[in-house]
Amino acid sequence: MKAELIDCNKKMQNNESQPIKGIVICKETGEYLLDLILDTDIDPVLLSSFVGALALFGLDNIGKIEEINIKGLNIEMLIVSRNNLILVIIFDKNWETNILHEEAEEALNMFYYTYKHEIKRNPINISRFESFKNLLNIQIKDYFKKVGFSNEIKDFGFFTDAIKKQRNERLELL
């Protein structure tokens, strides 16, 4: 099962059109718990600290933050908070986000109710959360089906076979 997860993550990482770049779950304090990074340029521990600092800033200055949207040049982040946890979804800037907030809340609730006793332990053994990546992968696939996303290569005539061959060669290198 773990080999399947690694294989699935590698395939998703090499897909340049992958709209979901990563998911990070941490405590409101910024303590890193779990990530499913599909774009290797993102540091999940640093991101956890950053959103934790935003949450603490909010508590001290404007009240509890329920949602934050961050827009960059190529990516956006949706940050959802509940049950003293934060979930960050990093996604392509051009991606449609109509139900992404609901999906983020659902994932965070699933994580909380699955691991609420482990989260309260001190110190936390974060390796216990690894199996949750399987659920996140399933949820991402289901979300893609809901919104009609397909990463299949469209027919470009003569070039379609060349594009497929190049893509398969990249995947085989892993």
pLDDT digits (tens, 9 = 90+) for 122-167: 888 899 999 999 999 888 888 888 877 765 544 445 555 555 565 5
User: Residue 44 falls within a domain, yes or no?
Assistant: yes
Pairing of β 32-37 and β 75-82? unpaired
User: Residue 10 falls within a domain, yes or no?
Assistant: no
User: Residue 163 falls within a domain, yes or no?
Assistant: no
User: Residue 157 falls within a domain, yes or no?
Assistant: no
Please state the domain count of the chain: 1
pTM for this predicted structure: 0.72
Task: Identify residue 138 by its one-letter amino acid code.
Answer: I
pLDDT greater than 90 at residue 34: yes
pLDDT digits (tens, 9 = 90+) for 11-24: 444 445 678 888 99
**What's the pLDDT at 23?**
92
pLDDT digits (tens, 9 = 90+) for 59-92: 766 666 666 767 776 888 888 888 989 999 888 8
| Cβ–Cβ under 8 Å, residues 146 and 99 | yes
* Boundaries of domain holding 118: 18-150
User: Residue 172 falls within a domain, yes or no?
Assistant: no
**CATH number, position 34:** 3.30.450.30
Residue 103 CA to residue 123 CA, distance in Å, equals: 29
More confident: 35 or 4: 35
User: Residue 8 falls within a domain, yes or no?
Assistant: no
User: Residue 2 falls within a domain, yes or no?
Assistant: no
> Which two three-digit tokens encode residue 44?
């999940």
Cis peptide before 123 (omega within 30 of 0): yes
pLDDT above 70 covers a percentage of the chain that reads 67
User: Residue 166 falls within a domain, yes or no?
Assistant: no
